[in-house]
Amino acid sequence: MDEKKSLWIDGREVAIEGERNLLEVIRKAGIDIPTFCYHSELSIYGACRLCLVEIEGRGLVASCSIPPEAGIKVLTNTPNIRKIRRVNVELLLANHDQNCTTCPKTGSCQLQSLAKRMGIEKVRFHSTHPAGEKDCSSLALVRDPGKCVLCGDCVRFCSEVQSVGALDFAFRGSKAKVVPAFGKKLADVECINCGQCARVCPTGALVPRSEIEEVWKALDNPEKTVVVQMAPATRVSVGEYFGMEGGSITTGQIVAALKKLGFDKIYDTSFTADLTVIEEASEFIVRKTKGEKLPQFTSCCPGWVKFAEQYFPELLPNLSTCRSPQQMFGSLAKAVLPEMLKVDRKNLVVVSLMPCTAKKFEARRPEFVVNGEADVDFVLTAQELGRMVEQAGIRFKELKPESLDMPFGFKTGAGVIFGSSGGVTEAVLRFVSEKVTGVKLDSVDFLETRGEEGIREVEIALGDEKVKIAIVYGLANARKVAEAAKKGESPYALIEVMACPGGCVNGAGQPVTYNRETIRRRAESLYEVDKSLQLHKSQDNPYIVDTYKKFLGEVGGEKAHHLLHTHYYSRKRINDEGMVLVEGGENKKVEIGVCVGTNCYVKGSQDILRNLFHHIESRGLEAYVEAKAAFCFENCKSAPVVRVGDTLINDCTFEKACRALDAELARCGVTASKAE
């Protein structure tokens, strides 16, 4: 072996083959050097000091921040190294909330794993910091500062990969901590709920918010009919929770587990992914034909949608108006299933099984709440399903596969590949190509859409015209293409965006893994599922055709638009001119009073008030609007009654209240752009 291209690790010669640092060379040699703060997709930080090695003639160094050099001699397991690593872990444990038995990350916590690996049975040091208050404000995540080890993984991911910066270090020295901006709660900053901070967090300091107890209550209620939809990416990940190989396809076992848990019907989100393909692709064809509102951005990813609302409200007209497959299913289910299953709408509970934490936030958006009832009632991540299966004592690996329920359990391969970056684009192209050319596709694969790069450009011939398309994951990458589109410099007609690296297969709700090969295998398995199915194009799904015929009418028609499409709004809190002052320079608030007297309460006023609170907060209107409970407007026959400003609204709904609020804000000179 040429000495110029190799080094020595524990007496063995190892080739240098383009690795970024010494740590990667050591791991390639089969030695698992412990780390907290190192992720190959993030910048090198060198804070945890667990990856220490000894280089002959140089002493102890952090292997993550040293480039590999030819000829150096490295030791990875000396008595001194073991002692220092052990002390470092003990010091981390000393200031760590050690209630490990009740931690959601038990079993996948790196600190717990390292303590066991180092043989630590007692922590000799005393804590010097209070645990800190747990932050449960977010609909998607829970932040527990008492479990933070200051590794900075969440900070760097949010800044470097997502370009959001919702978390950062504050204070100095021994008082340093990771907090949201200005010490606010996570729900009060520009977090886009992607949860990737929780995915890379090595402890339980950031975890997905659990809705397990709420789902158990629904399942235990004999008056409720509980149905569940399964997202494409979960079928290739849930098995990992039970020790199966990464990317194992467990659709049938998941269905069997859900039935044992007590769900009445198990459907497939891939069904409404097929619907999304048809609606979104048809929308794209119309835009392309008219040359309007291009490039068209996809809108399946709620993390990306909130990012666009916060940072690129000028581009909101460019986002597809299609709801995500999750929300299409919820809307369709609440409209169709009550009659189909012979159940009252109020007793129908729709649960989603998702790979994503942002879906929890999406399900609570006011646009998807009708008369106080959410289209999707609860969202479980793949991790949460794993815990429910364990709680029920079900032996997952021993389950015999069972079938999904019809009609919403039938899907094509196009709906399944949605879970991988590039999958939405490929599914759309399978529709658009046939629609534009009028020629049936013999080969449905658009291999050029697949890949691992964060920004991929493809050029597709659609009839006589070539169309450029961008496929993007990671919101820092999305920011680049969005900036170009904002300036009118985008060469693309269609842009697919997913917040999570690699797509939904790498969502924060998936079983925890730090192995990139596992993520790659999940994506490959989705394409294997596609190949195993008989139909690969959404337009060929007979149950989709039947759904349009029976329930939706024409593609993009009035009813389809009502159930399957939505709108977005700016979430900018401060405009370029600063906060707008109204009525003589004073920020006088619009007052909303919602009667909670008996008649109004029985008819849903409490739900109206709750939704108004969320609506005001989500639009950043706190400085302009104050909503509160009122007792009686002496108009009980027309309950529920709501007062907006000086206007009394009888037989009020949440939608009526929102329209009245918009009108009152406009009268006061506060437009959406000014307020947000």
Contact 296, 283 (CB under 8 A): yes
Question: What contacts 531, CB < 8 A, 6 or more positions away?
Answer: 413
Residue with tokens 């990464």: 246
Three-state DSSP class for 496?
strand
Which DSSP category does 593 fall into?
E
Beta bridge partners of 179: 168
Query: Counting Cβ atoms within 10 Å, is residue 128 exposed (0-12), middle (13-18) or buried (19+)?
Result: exposed
Give catalytic residue positions: 280, 283, 300, 320, 359, 362, 367, 504
Contact between 478 and 497 under an 8 Å Cβ cutoff? The reply is: yes
d(CA 149, CA 88): 11
**Half-sphere exposure in the Cβ direction for 220 (13 Å, CA):** 7
Which residues have CB under 8 Å from 231's CB, separation 6+? 269, 325, 326, 352, 353, 354, 355, 356, 419, 504
Residue bearing tokens 């693309």: 492
Q: Round to the nearest angstrom and report the end-to-end CA distance of the chain.
A: 63
By DSSP bridging, strand 494-498 and strand 465-473 are parallel
Residue environment code for 514-528, b if the CB has 16+ CB neighbours within 10 A, otherwise e: eeeebbbbbbebbbe
Q: Alpha-carbon distance 57 to 320, whole Å?
A: 60
Classify burial at 407, counting beta carbons within 10 Å of its beta carbon; exposed 0-12, middle 13-18, buried 19 or more. middle
Burial 427-440 (b: 16+ CB within 10 A, else e): bbbbbbbbebeeee
What is the radius of gyration, based on Cα positions, of the chain? Answer: 27
